[in-house]
Structure 1
Amino acid sequence: MYSVGVPLPPAIRALVRDFRPLLTGFERVRETRETTLVAKRLDADDRREYLRAARDAKAALRGAPAFEARVSETGVFEEPARGPGPLVYLAVESPGLERVHRRLVAELGGVDGLEGDDYVPHVTLARDGSSRARERVRSHDFDPVTWTVEELELYDARHGERIETVSLPA
């Protein structure tokens, strides 16, 4: 899967690591290096399709400004649109990210159940856990993290790598 993603700052990666001990009781725990914040999935199954989708995404992002993002709480998708649930996550508050997402969906189309009106900016922590495990995550207090997003990345999840970046002017 290819996507447009938000690079996560070291403070968010540290926060994900801090949650690791609380994720016992979940069947699938996201590795810190696999942690992502997806702004928009790209409709591409191979490199050739990716090149077309990336060109269209970069055109849609032309002139999009930098924006603030903040994580201050966790959330749960009891029945996620894809994959096993429940899914626990760090909730991302960012009107700027939501504007970028809407802009990309308007130009590229959206994935039903995940994008458009259904889009919830988040960083997945783990899936398929007991109610006790979910409550342990939900009740954990942490200091909020705020950062400025000055670039987006075009990402290849199959290979776990950033392909290129798109700068967002201040």
Structure 2
Amino acid sequence: MYSLNVAIPATVAALAGDLAMELPRARARPRGEHTLVVKRLGGGDHAAYARIEGRMRDVLRGTAPFAIRVTGVEQFETAVTGPSPVVYLAVESPGLRTLHERLCEEFDLVDGVEGDDYTPHVTVARGGTRAAADRLVERELDPIEWTVEELVFHDAERGQSVSRVSLPA
């Protein structure tokens, strides 16, 4: 599965890693693998991906940098796929939501996680006990704010970036 993601600053990745240590039975995201998905782009071979990326770059043309903010810890009690619960850093950003909506008009939706079901977030960990997840959700955090100036095309199967696009695009 390919996706277009927001580049995550080190402070957010470090926070997610620190919080994951409080979920000992959960599967934490490894350092450097935290993502914030803007839009899933589907799977397929490299040629299919190259066409999608080219089209995505056309759609992104004119996209300005936008503000984003991590506001706290939340959870999906039941994940759409994979182990539950999913503890995550909650993200607020009108610019991110607007971009997601624009991309959903141009590309197929992934049911259950995009369009009206889209919840911008950075996963901390999956699985583990609900009690540990509930304790972490009670935690108050100082917000982390930044301006998104770069988007990343990500290959989830290989766990790596494919390419990047700077904003304004």
Tell me the TM-score normalized by structure 2.
0.94
- Residue type of the partner of 1:126? A
Q: Structure 1 CA distance, aligned partners of 2:33 and 2:41?
A: 18
Aligned residue number for residue 149 of structure 2: 150
The within-5 A match list for 1:57-72 is 57-72=56-71
Q: Structure 1 CA distance, aligned partners of 2:154 and 2:144?
A: 23
- Residue type of the partner of 2:125? A
Aligned residue number for residue 40 of structure 1: 39
Aligned residue number for residue 85 of structure 2: 86
What displacement does 1:25 show?
2.9
What displacement does 1:34 show?
1.4
What displacement does 1:44 show?
2.8
Q: Structure 1 CA distance, aligned partners of 2:71 and 2:112?
A: 25
What displacement does 1:48 show?
1.0
- Residue type of the partner of 2:20? R
- Tell me the alpha carbon deviations over residues 145-166 of structure 1, each in whole angstroms, 9 at most, x when there is no partner: 0000011111112222211111
Structure 1 window deviating more from structure 2 (7-16 vs 134-143): it is 134-143
Q: Structure 2 CA distance, aligned partners of 1:17 and 1:86?
A: 17
Note if contact 1:70-1:94 (Cα within 8 Å) is conserved in structure 2. Answer: yes
Note if contact 1:70-1:92 (Cα within 8 Å) is conserved in structure 2. Answer: yes
Note if contact 1:43-1:49 (Cα within 8 Å) is conserved in structure 2. Answer: no
Aligned residue number for residue 135 of structure 1: 134
Note if contact 1:81-1:113 (Cα within 8 Å) is conserved in structure 2. Answer: yes
Note if contact 2:17-2:31 (Cα within 8 Å) is conserved in structure 1. Answer: yes
Structure 1 window deviating more from structure 2 (119-128 vs 138-147): it is 138-147
- Tell me the alpha carbon deviations over residues 31-83 of structure 1, each in whole angstroms, 9 at most, x when there is no partner: 12211111111123211110011111111111111101100211111112122
Tell me the TM-score normalized by structure 1.
0.93
Structure 1 window deviating more from structure 2 (92-101 vs 125-134): it is 125-134
Secondary structure of the equivalent of 1:81? coil
Structure 1 window deviating more from structure 2 (61-70 vs 29-38): it is 29-38
Aligned residue number for residue 106 of structure 2: 107
- Residue type of the partner of 1:111? V
Note if contact 2:17-2:124 (Cα within 8 Å) is conserved in structure 1. Answer: no
Q: Structure 2 CA distance, aligned partners of 1:94 and 1:46?
A: 32
Note if contact 2:16-2:123 (Cα within 8 Å) is conserved in structure 1. Answer: no
| Runs of 4+ residues deviating >4 angstroms | none
Note if contact 2:85-2:128 (Cα within 8 Å) is conserved in structure 1. Answer: yes
Aligned residue number for residue 167 of structure 1: 166
